[in-house]
Amino acid sequence: MPRTITFSPELLDSHCIVDARTPLEFAEDHLPGAINVPILTNAERVEIGTLYKQQGPQVARVRGLELTCHRFPAIVASITEAAVGRPILVYCWRGGLRSESIALLLEMTGTPVVKLAGGYKTFRQLVSSFFKSVSLPVQLVVLHGMTGSGKTEFLNQLPASDWTVIDLEGLARHRGSAFGSLGLGEQPPQKRFETLLWDAFRRAPLDRPIVVEGESKRIGQVTLPGNLYEVMADSTKIWCEVSVATRVKRLAAEYARQDYQQPMAEAIERIKKKLGGQHYDELMHKLEAWDVEGLAQGLIEQYYDKLYYRVRKWEPEGTISLEDYATAVRELAAICTA
């Protein structure tokens, strides 16, 4: 019988992780780095579940064998090819029959394999527990500033030898504004976002600060999990200053793609009430004329600066200027080591 082991984060770096669940379950969330080798399709899982409830486990298992036995050689081949010599760890929803079946198949062919105790459910509990009461062993630095300041671009230029950057907007695939989804594709499900975020924190070295961008509790359709938002509010807060002229140029450069024109029109439509009729008409006219800098200026003046940070109820631990990123790196280091 395949050996069962309990989860530890080190397994993610040492094993070929195989998710035996359906593609739908895998898409909602999975262990970091896992490959999906489903023993049942989405429809087959529904069928087997129905049989289990209506006619009992024996009928369901016989039907499961009928549906899957012809796929056994391909399942073994795809896993061993992906493993390339690494030890194999298989899991399903609760560490039950699906992972047991694949593990038995691998063992029968002479391939060493272990099964994850408790399956995905146990891993999910670990992630939820981490965010329920976030406690970080290193300094957390949070960058705040007006839309168009260049905070994300600045974050991604910080030297990895001195800072750990966790791009919340990149993980969420959303910039947290009315135009936040432009060019970033579909947002991940909430559970997937939390796993990606947990993995980013667990990979952070212990000899340098973690830097993130200040966000609202919600980033598009996903939410900062647990008490992370409160922890960020209590961390080292940095205010990023930059001129309106620079913000206009940076925002315009971000939006200056012709394929963004229709999604931008839809986004402006969604904020029409907040803009008011006159400002809405002005922005739509600029968009139709493809005056991207004029559009960026109008959004900054009539929307972003009126909506965000209208009343800042906290004082930053320091201020840096993002007019020049190289200078800003030195200013950030000086504040964080003072």
Question: In angstroms, rounded to a whole number, what is the distance separating the alpha carbons of residues 38 and 48?
Answer: 14
Q: Are 52 and 154 in a shared domain?
A: no
Q: Give the pLDDT score at 225.
A: 97
Question: Where residue 222 falls among pLDDT bands split at 50, 70, 90?
Answer: very high
Q: Give the pLDDT score at 197.
A: 98
Q: Give percent of the chain with pLDDT exceeding 90.
A: 68
> Does the pLDDT value for residue 181 go beyond 80?
no
Question: Where residue 249 falls among pLDDT bands split at 50, 70, 90?
Answer: very high
Q: Give the pLDDT score at 153.
A: 93
Q: Give the pLDDT score at 104.
A: 94
| Angle between helices 57-68 and 97-108 in degrees, nearest 10 | 50
Q: Are 315 and 292 in a shared domain?
A: yes
Question: In angstroms, rounded to a whole number, what is the distance separating the alpha carbons of residues 312 and 238?
Answer: 13
Q: Are 101 and 219 in a shared domain?
A: no
Give the structural domain span for 157: 134-337
135 C-beta neighbours (distance < 10 Å), count? 7
CATH number of the domain that 7 lies in? Answer: 3.40.250.10
Highest mean pLDDT among 95-109, 116-130, 146-160, 265-279 belongs to 116-130
Q: Are 8 and 99 in a shared domain?
A: yes
Q: Which of 128, 150, 184 is the last residue of a domain?
A: 128
> Does the pLDDT value for residue 48 go beyond 90?
no
The C-alpha angle 40, 41, 44, rounded to 5 degrees, equals: 75
Q: Give the pLDDT score at 310.
A: 63
Total number of domains in the chain: 2
- Mean of the pLDDT values across residues 22-36? 97
141, containing H or E segment = strand 140-144
Cite the DSSP H helix spans in the chain.
Answer: 11-14, 23-28, 42-55, 57-68, 72-83, 97-108, 119-132, 151-155, 168-172, 190-203, 228-233, 244-255, 261-270, 272-275, 277-288, 292-299, 305-307, 325-337
Q: Give the pLDDT score at 309.
A: 65
Q: Are 301 and 177 in a shared domain?
A: yes
pLDDT in tens, 142-170: 999 998 999 999 999 999 999 999 999 99
Residue, of 181 and 59, whose pLDDT is higher: 59
Read off the pTM. Answer: 0.91
Q: Give the pLDDT score at 280.
A: 87
Q: Give the pLDDT score at 311.
A: 61
Structure tokens that stand for 260 in this block: 């963004």
Q: Give the pLDDT score at 255.
A: 82
Instruction: State the catalytic residue, choosing from 16, 69, 92, 240.
Output: 92
Q: Is 16 a catalytic residue?
A: no
Q: Which of 96, 128, 160 is the last residue of a domain?
A: 128
CATH number of the domain that 179 lies in? Answer: 3.40.50
Q: How confident is the prediction for the chain on average, in pLDDT? A: 92
Q: Are 99 and 221 in a shared domain?
A: no
Q: Which of 73, 107, 128 is the last residue of a domain?
A: 128
